[in-house]
Amino acid sequence: MVGMGDNQRVPATVTRRATSDPVLDAAVDLARAAAQEVAEPGQVGGHVGFVLEQDRLGTHHFTCLVPGYRGWVWSVTLARVPRSRTATVCEVVLVPGEEALLAPEWVPWSERLRPGDLGIGDLLPTAADDDRLEPGWLASDDEEADRLAFVELGLGRPRVLSFLGRVEAAERWWEGDFGPHSPMAQAAPAGCSSCGFMVPMAGALRAAFGVCANTYSPADGRVVALDYGCGGHSEAALVPGSRPSDAPRIDEVGFDVVRARPDPEHGSVSETEPVEDLGHS
């Protein structure tokens, strides 16, 4: 026995993990029979391999022949007690292999939504901690301040757009079909900022966006960037006025009367002229 005051180290106990188990490794037929008992006839294929999980605990894998489960394997776990030469079956499960076809990772519905998914009658709850919103302005006893907030600033709602919400909306509109980089805007004669059909927005976003009110424009009723434009610009061109037309070079209105046949009462030869052979009167 070593005393507490002695400067001697107590040798540590080293536990070595087994790297093989001949008994479990050889129990292929036992594992196959267990898999066939669970699976339908003809669904257990060839032996894939054996993996020693822990001491006296290992797993045999067999090819899965179930239709629709390509790449999956039957996994049969065996075990044995110490000093025993007999293996026993612990469990049989069907697990995906490295090349198995798996369903995509589940994504919450709130993260699966995309622009345009909201249909008629659908309700889209907004989280209380939505970063796009922030608490709105509440009414006070100051009538003039309330008028300014409600009418001019458009407040008085429980929540309004936060700075992040305005930035996300601006980036989405700027890069969208009615932003300055769209093909329509590139071919336009001028931007919406100088168009009479552009209705300015309220709030901070009015510095870069407005609403189109031209019924002939593809952006009618849409939020447009002030640098967007289309051929319906109010000052693109003036409608040419009407002018009198020139007289036609060819008279297609007047007509001349032409006798198509001679007068039946008179022949084409005078009656006083002598008659000749093959003549006519």
Task: Look at residue 8 and tell me whether its pLDDT is greater than 80.
Answer: no
Average pLDDT, the chain: 80
Q: Tokens for 99?
A: 């090349």
Task: Please give the pLDDT value at position 139.
Answer: 56
pLDDT tens figures, 42-53: 999 999 999 999
Q: Which of 93-102, 110-119, 206-215, 254-263 has the lowest mean pLDDT?
A: 254-263
pLDDT tens figures, 126-145: 777 777 776 665 556 666 66
pLDDT top residue among 92 and 127:
92
Percent of the chain with pLDDT over 90: 38
Average pLDDT rounded to a whole number, residues 57-75:
94
Q: Which of 98-107, 120-129, 159-168, 239-248 has the lowest mean pLDDT?
A: 239-248
pTM: 0.42
CB distance 240 to 204 below 8 Å:
no
With 0-12 CB in 10 A as exposed, 13-18 as middle and 19+ as buried, what is 119?
exposed
Measured CA angle at 200 (ends 194, 206), to 5 deg:
105
How many Cα atoms sit within 13 Å of 182 on the Cβ side? 22
List CB contacts of 76: < 8 A, sequence separation 6 or more.
Answer: 31, 32, 34, 35, 59, 60, 61, 62, 89, 91, 92
- Residue 1 pLDDT level (bands cut at 50, 70, 90): very low
